Amino acid sequence: MESDETVSGFPHPDEEKQVMAAWDQFLRGAELPSSAVRSVIERSWSRCLSAGVDPGRSRAHAPVQVEELGTLQHPHRDLIDASVPVMQQARDFLSESGTMMILTDPTGVILETEGDPATLDAAQDVRLVGGANWDELACGTNAIGTALSVHQPVQVHAAEHFCAGIKPWTCSATVVRDPASGEILGALDVSGLSGTFHRQWLALAVVAAGRIEASLAAREMGLRHHLLEAGLRRLMKTSPGGLLFFDRKGCLIKVDAAGGRSLAAMGIELDSRDDKRIDAFDADSAMRAGRATLPQWLRPEWVEPVIRGGKRVGTIVVLSDPFQRGPGRRGVHSRGAPLPSGNEPDGGEIIGSSGALRQAVEKARQLASLDAPVLLQGETGVGKEMFARAIHAGGHRKNGRFVALNCGGLPRDILASELFGYVEGAFTGARRSGMIGRIEAAAGGTLFLDEIGEMPLELQPYFLRVLDGGEVYPLGDSKPRKVQFRLVAATNKDLRAEVTAGRFREDLFYRVSVTALRIPSLRERKEDISTLVEHFSGEVSRRYGASMKRFEPEVLDAFERYAWPGNVRELRSVVEGMVMLATGDAVTVADLPPEIASSITEASLQLAVPTPSATVTNLEAVERAAISTAIAGCHGNLTLVAKELRISKSTLYAKVRKHALDQILLEARLHGR
């Protein structure tokens, strides 16, 4: 029976002639005696012979060009960064012993070398250099290629090499594994001319590889800690349906409790190894040709990359919550064709943690459970459809369709056909098969009518009859069709004023406004602006494959001072344009659109210009006087002061400290009691 040492242990330099003779016999096809060579070597020779490796080869194939080596090294940057300090620390020891240390990738391509200068020079002869491939099936039996083949530490000495030109060398190698997944990242080898053989070189390779793996583990733990911290901050901003955490290689590392429940509700199980890795989240995927696609169950808007130092360190998936995202359901009504998908846009995400927004979200949660008509009120661009979708998804009809129609900008006849539908022959130009109206399409679900204040007065009684009777008459049809749906309407007008002016029916007003919800403007929740900017910037990065941009504090301050007449919709558009047009890694005030830059300048001048009776002579004094006056007028309430001066609270706090206004602030608060 073979001993362990004979099978896979250490070479015996004193048996070189025996090994060389066995090699000659092997190449002639003769059967080798059981003790001629170690079994790990004989099996390697067999693999090389079967693969057609030339035993007369004198050196490795030509390495890649120097300019290509950097591209080859890039995917293995973490491995190299962890290895270089270890290899440099061993440099003096290697130099004294006439050896060199070699780091390769998982395919056996050399990434880095270190050690004795004379040995490094000699290694040129056999191309033991950066960019050369030392896979077993490329260079025959050698410690690097064989260790990668058997996934174990291997020492190959002199005649044990399969290729004749490499037999003057001795080498010892082991694999380097990913501490988290166990995946082989590469090999670490100690090589020298055969006269430098010692069994300790294999121990050195194993110990050094262990230190590299420990360094990788420490780095990975730091990145995961940063990833989980980002998740905690994300959790504090909103109440998501759950969080999934993926590392920078796209491997799933954590699912929080809410995330587990959400996945279960979606019928998704992340049990198999394939499911736990998402290639689209691999930080290096952008460097490869083509872009990986997301699994079918995972919506792109749920994805939030976590960036540190300009690099992606992981990904957080924020699962859907009824008050975070609409389900974007699509369906086919039993009476006809499905509505065009363009009528069901993604509701987006309600982002922010301001008090005004939290109150609106909480009221929306309450309204969702009532199944009564809801009137959403708010300026253009505040996100009324997002709230409508959230109310639908949180209500009793969430399994039905969400059907949206904007009543503004459509001629009366077109709006009537869109709303009520029509039968064949109802009017000239009608479709031969007729058309299902939005009301009927929403049966069992929710009908969202945006800009309901724009509904023509002559159509309003017909719609009121639908609400009162639960029946709809398609145009040209004398038979009613039963419909049950939930109505969510939205307007940026004062409907009471419209009733007074005779442009909106009073009875319809009371019917659509059984419950009402006012959605705050962006001016009322400016503390959410930085969060929204970060989110929209991330959306642009994911959509166009662009790098993340950092918004300078001065830009965010300008955003907080701007009036935002178009609200969140305008902010999204501005952020997208600035990210796409910014030339550097940061978005600066120079990138501000002219309308925002000019608006901020005018506001600053209005704040800074003194009255004719003022005796101040510099802008610092003007600013101090303006803030002092505002503090006194608002009785020390800094929230009101910030609104009065149209600056952010963080900027106000800084200016209070700058101008030493603490005493004035204290006195104002005391007087206000």
The SS3 call for residue 251 is: strand
Give the pLDDT of residue 601.
54
- Span 506-554, pLDDT tens digits: 999 999 999 999 999 999 999 999 889 988 888 887 777 777 788 988 8
Give the pLDDT of residue 345.
35
* Residues 6 or more apart whose Cβ sits within 8 Å of residue 67: none
CB 370 within 8 A of CB 352: no
Max CA distance (Å), the chain: 112
Give the pLDDT of residue 284.
66
* Confidence class for position 256, pLDDT limits 50, 70, 90: confident
Give the pLDDT of residue 410.
80
- CA nearest 499: which of 511, 488, 515? 511
CB atoms within 10 A of CB 361: 20
Residue 179: pLDDT above 90? no
Helix (H) or strand (E) holding 86: helix 77-89
Long-range contacts from 426-434, C-beta under 8 angstroms, 24+ separation? 426/474, 426/475, 426/476, 426/477, 427/475, 427/476, 430/476, 433/336, 433/337, 434/336, 434/474
The span from the first CA to the last CA of the chain, in angstroms, equals 97
The tokens describing 536, both together, are 């929209």
Give the pLDDT of residue 49.
95
CB 172 within 8 A of CB 202: yes
Burial 594-624 (b: 16+ CB within 10 A, else e): eebeebbeebbeebeeeeeeeeeeeeeebbb
Ranked by mean pLDDT, the top range of 295-299, 396-400, 663-667 is: 396-400
Give the pLDDT of residue 599.
66
Q: What is the pLDDT averaged over residues 406-435?
A: 78
Q: What is the pLDDT averaged over residues 351-359?
A: 88
Cα 636 from Cα 628, distance rounded (Å): 9
- Span 48-63, pLDDT tens digits: 999 999 999 999 999 9
The SS3 call for residue 59 is: coil
Cα 193 from Cα 666, distance rounded (Å): 81
Q: Whats the size of the chain, residue-wise?
A: 673
- CA nearest 222: which of 308, 284, 286? 308
Position with higher pLDDT, 347 vs 82: 82
Position with higher pLDDT, 670 vs 577: 577
The torsion of the CA quartet 544, 379, 395, 343, rounded to 10 degrees, works out to: -50
Cα 40 from Cα 2, distance rounded (Å): 12
The torsion of the CA quartet 607, 612, 613, 618, rounded to 10 degrees, works out to: 50
Give the pLDDT of residue 392.
93
* Confidence class for position 419, pLDDT limits 50, 70, 90: very high
* Residues 6 or more apart whose Cβ sits within 8 Å of residue 109: 64, 72, 131, 132, 133, 134, 135
Does CATH place domain 341-518 in 3.40.50.300? yes
Give the pLDDT of residue 171.
97
Cα 494 from Cα 452, distance rounded (Å): 11
Cα 423 from Cα 480, distance rounded (Å): 12
Q: Residue with structure tokens 């020390």?
A: 636
Residue 229: pLDDT above 80? no
CB 425 within 8 A of CB 557: no
The SS3 call for residue 426 is: coil
* Confidence class for position 5, pLDDT limits 50, 70, 90: very low
Q: What is the pLDDT averaged over residues 443-452?
A: 94
Question: For the purposes of burial, counting CB atoms within 10 Å of the CB of 4, is it exposed (0-12), middle (13-18) or buried (19 or more)?
Answer: exposed
Residue 559: pLDDT above 60? yes
Residue 272: pLDDT above 60? no
**Eight-state DSSP code of residue 304:** E
The tokens describing 403, both together, are 């059907």
Vertex 532 angle, CA 528 and 535, to 5°: 145
What DSSP string describes 459-514?
THHHHHHHHHHSEE--BT--S-EE---EEEEEESS-HHHHHHTTSS-HHHHHHHTS
CB atoms within 10 A of CB 653: 12
Question: Full-prediction pTM beyond 0.85?
Answer: no
- Span 85-102, pLDDT tens digits: 999 998 888 988 999 999
- CA nearest 415: which of 505, 340, 475, 353? 475
Q: How far is CA 573 from the centre of its chain?
A: 20
- Span 125-171, pLDDT tens digits: 999 999 999 999 999 999 999 999 999 999 999 999 999 999 999 99
| Sheet-wide strand order for 303-308 | 252-255, 243-247, 311-318, 303-308
**CATH of 522-604 among 1.10.8.60, 3.30.750.24, 3.30.70.2970, 3.30.230.70:** 1.10.8.60
What backbone torsions phi and psi does residue 455 show, to the nearest 5 degrees? -65, 125
Helices (H), 127-243: 136-139, 143-150, 200-237
Cα 271 from Cα 540, distance rounded (Å): 32
Q: Residue with structure tokens 């039963």?
A: 482
What backbone torsions phi and psi does residue 503 show, to the nearest 5 degrees? -100, -5
Cα 133 from Cα 111, distance rounded (Å): 10
CB 464 within 8 A of CB 419: no
* Confidence class for position 484, pLDDT limits 50, 70, 90: very high
Position with higher pLDDT, 270 vs 549: 549
- Span 293-326, pLDDT tens digits: 778 788 887 888 887 766 778 888 888 754 444 3
* Confidence class for position 616, pLDDT limits 50, 70, 90: very low
CB 161 within 8 A of CB 167: yes
Q: What one-letter code names the amino acid at 292?
A: A
* Confidence class for position 606, pLDDT limits 50, 70, 90: very low
Q: What is the pLDDT averaged over residues 485-511?
A: 94
Range of lowest pLDDT (43-47, 238-242, 422-426, 541-545): 238-242
Give the pLDDT of residue 656.
81
Map out the domains of the chain as residue ranges: 8-216, 238-318, 341-518, 522-604, 609-671
Cα 100 from Cα 104, distance rounded (Å): 13
Cα 212 from Cα 220, distance rounded (Å): 12
Residue 471: pLDDT above 80? yes
Give the pLDDT of residue 4.
39
Give the pLDDT of residue 369.
87
* Confidence class for position 666, pLDDT limits 50, 70, 90: low
Q: How far is CA 334 from the centre of its chain?
A: 39
CATH superfamily of 8-216: GAF domain (3.30.450.40)
CB 626 within 8 A of CB 607: yes
Position with higher pLDDT, 519 vs 3: 519
- Span 370-397, pLDDT tens digits: 889 999 999 999 999 999 999 998 888 9
Cα 304 from Cα 283, distance rounded (Å): 13
Position with higher pLDDT, 278 vs 174: 174
- CA nearest 402: which of 414, 386, 423, 413? 386
Pairing label, strands 311-318, 303-308: antiparallel
Vertex 211 angle, CA 103 and 202, to 5°: 60
